[in-house]
Structure 1
Amino acid sequence: MKLYNRKPRDPWRTIRNLHEQGFLVKVRKGVYRYEPNAVNLKELEDFTTEQKLEILKRDGYKCVICGKGKKDGVELQVDHIKPKYLGG
């Protein structure tokens, strides 16, 4: 509410999203709570430049989903396809 001055369209989707980002801790099904320490313990690590180059080389400088590359005018991003909280 403080950020957008209105209620979220889909509050449950918003709650799940906040849980995935590490701002909420799941107590039990449908019950979440804010845990300030969980936010502080959250590790945000990005790929190093060397890792990015290695990944691009491994994938042939093409998107692993659509198969397009720089020749097709697509800017490639190195990112997690599977969210980190699911082991990606």
Structure 2
Amino acid sequence: MKPGIHPEYRDVCFVDLSNGSKFVIPSTAQTRETIKMEDGRELPLMKLDTSSESHPFYTGTQKSVDALGGRVDKFRQKFARAAAAAGAKK
């Protein structure tokens, strides 16, 4: 690698703001804040709105569109009647 052109690759602490979970992984993410870890290390801090710990898809709390009160069926029934009524008028 050419010296001086690559970003610094170091451990970064990522914090999920929705539930407070933390995980440390190597990253080149640029941060302005730091956090003091339980083991005494001071690491760069990257705040996240959501992570796999809080995202509905990964936690199993995601709702299907078909399970939301039969919206698709209601739509089809509504426009099936409208199409039948339009065909009867001809």
Instruction: Provide the TM-score with structure 1 as the length reference.
Output: 0.22
Select the structure with the greater relative contact order (CA < 8 A; seq sep ≥ 6).
2
Higher helix share: 1
Kindly name which structure, 1 or 2, has the bigger radius of gyration based on alpha carbons: 2
